[in-house]
Amino acid sequence: MFRLPHFASRVAGAAGPSPRRAAAALVAAAVVLGAAACGAGATAQDTAVGNGSSFVTGSYGTTVFQSGARPKAPDVVGPTLSGSKFRLSTDRGSVVVMNFWGSWCTPCREEAPALGALSRYFSAAGVRFIGVDIRDDPASAEAFMATFRIGYPSLNDPNDLVALDFSGTVPPAGIPTTLVIDRSGRIAARIVGQASYSGLKALITQVEAEHG
């Protein structure tokens, strides 16, 4: 501990580590860091998760857009499960609730009774409900709708074209996703994951009360 500073600096001069050695250590560190960073990047996520069940469930919760900052919904067009044609823009002037679902998806099945009940509750007020059936076969989808007494139509979307229409705006970030679209065709709220009866009811009531 009582080395003379002069001696110390001399030794430093003679036997100081070469940049190559330090550099080699840095390379090792960088490689490990790289691996770690990749690992972290690949798995660190609290937005949407792959869960080994072969579909992505969302955990975003609810996003409400204030009336000035609502993204415009694309004009979704496509065939429904029953074979008729649906066009979102024909519902302009009404509040539209759009629900992305699949008959195979547990949270979709869990929220289905609430959606069915709300569609009946708001039908007198002119609120339109439309489902988008994802990665499903039509037979299972029809059986699902019968089980949960879903009276509103659903688009048959085996090729994800409806979700693709929303890319760049407010895409469904998991299954299920529920969008509340206001009278002017703008997205007022998004629920990713299972929607609750009371939560969705409050959102629809709020948007429905706006003057379109």
Q: Looking at 124, 146, 209, 211, which residue binds other proteins (CB under 8 A)?
A: 146
Q: CA dist 187 to 6, 41, 132, 150, Å?
A: 73, 30, 16, 23
- Of 16 and 61, the one with the shorter C-beta distance to other proteins is 16
For position 5 contacting other proteins by CB under 8 A, the verdict is yes
CA angle 28, 30, 31 (to 5 degrees): 65
How many Cβ atoms are within 10 Å of 155's Cβ, its own excluded? 22
69, 189 contact by CB (below 8 A): no
Q: Looking at 63, 92, 117, 135, which residue binds other proteins (CB under 8 A)?
A: 135
Pairing of β 85-87 and β 96-101: unpaired
Tokens of 130: 């439309």
Residues 84, 88, 89, 93, CA torsion sign: positive
The interface with other proteins within residues 28-47 (CB under 8 A) comprises 29-30, 32-34, 36-47
Give the range of 50-58, 83-91, 178-186, 202-210 binding other proteins by CB under 8 A.
Answer: 50-58
Interatomic CA distance for residues 136 and 105, integer angstroms: 10
Give the range of 10-18, 118-126, 178-186, 196-204 binding other proteins by CB under 8 A.
Answer: 10-18
Q: Shortest Cβ distance from residue 47 to other proteins (Å)? A: 6
Q: Shortest Cβ distance from residue 75 to other proteins (Å)? A: 12
The interface with other proteins within residues 149-208 (CB under 8 A) comprises 158-161, 163-175, 177
Beta-ladder partners of 50: 56
Residue 191, SS3 per DSSP: strand
For position 75 contacting other proteins by CB under 8 A, the verdict is no
Q: Looking at 15, 69, 124, 209, which residue binds other proteins (CB under 8 A)?
A: 15
Give the range of 114-122, 137-145, 181-189, 201-209 binding other proteins by CB under 8 A.
Answer: 137-145
